[in-house]
Amino acid sequence: MIVAVLCALGAALSNATGTVMQSRAARRAPERDTMRLMLMKHLMRQPGWYAGIGGMIGGFLLQATALSLAGLALVQPVIAVELPITLLIGARVFHRRVGWPALSGMLALSGGLALLITSTRPRGGHEPATIWPWVWACAISLLLGGALITAGLAARGGLRAALFGSVSGLAFGFTAALMKGALNRLPQGLLAVLESWQLYAMVVTGIAAVFLTQNALQSGPLAAAQPAITTCEPLTSILFGVLLFDESLRAGWWLFPTVLGGGMLVTGSVLLARSPLSSATTGQDGAEVPERQR
């Protein structure tokens, strides 16, 4: 169990470092490249971006190792510390002061997320009997994602970063659902997994999620983009687990900590949105400066 916790903490640190490095590279891209493939062309010219992707891959491998040694209920709440680690490293890299409102927001968000995951603890479930639940899930994801992108393109700064971060989290959550759908065929053999349409849809949505993440990191401060990504991904994973796989959530007195966790998420989001960390842009050297000084 101790090894699992250490691997989960290592995953959180690796993800956090990778995210900050990706953010530093993305924030140097011109605004005109938003939601264009030119953004990726710009990023692929920067060695630091590849290091950031490496951190993300390392975090994934460490998280997978932790999950192989312990259950989701232990590992995922530990992974939630990724958010404050990311923002603290980001504040250091981008030369931003972390005030009490921002620190309180970080703790409330990560604590609320950990509490929600622990309280709901999805379990059971089975593969959908027909293709229609998947069709509805795809349609809802595309419509909601399109609405968030449209709203993000009309916004600026921290709000745009948060909206793009939300659709990125949605895409990662749907990617996890597709992965589960593909891996459910593993007992039938590897060939069954390779023949499943979910595997290839997962690759497409995963690439889209990475692209959306880069747009979120490019559009505004890390403190605006990362909380949206970190919170939306597990929440949408839980939602798809219930809607697609008929997983059941804890009920009874567990509803109290669930509601409390949701309230902490809202409170943390408000505190971070009002903090100086969420109202910054970047200068030519990649360091963040307040919006009013642009």
Give me the pLDDT at residue 82, please.
Answer: 87
In the chain, where are the structural domains located? 126-248
Give me the pLDDT at residue 73, please.
Answer: 60
- pLDDT mean by block of 10 residues, the chain; 294 residues: 87 94 92 91 93 93 83 70 88 84 87 86 77 92 96 92 94 89 86 92 93 94 89 86 85 88 88 74 46 39
Give me the pLDDT at residue 279, please.
Answer: 65
Rounded Cα distance, 87 and 12, in Å? 12
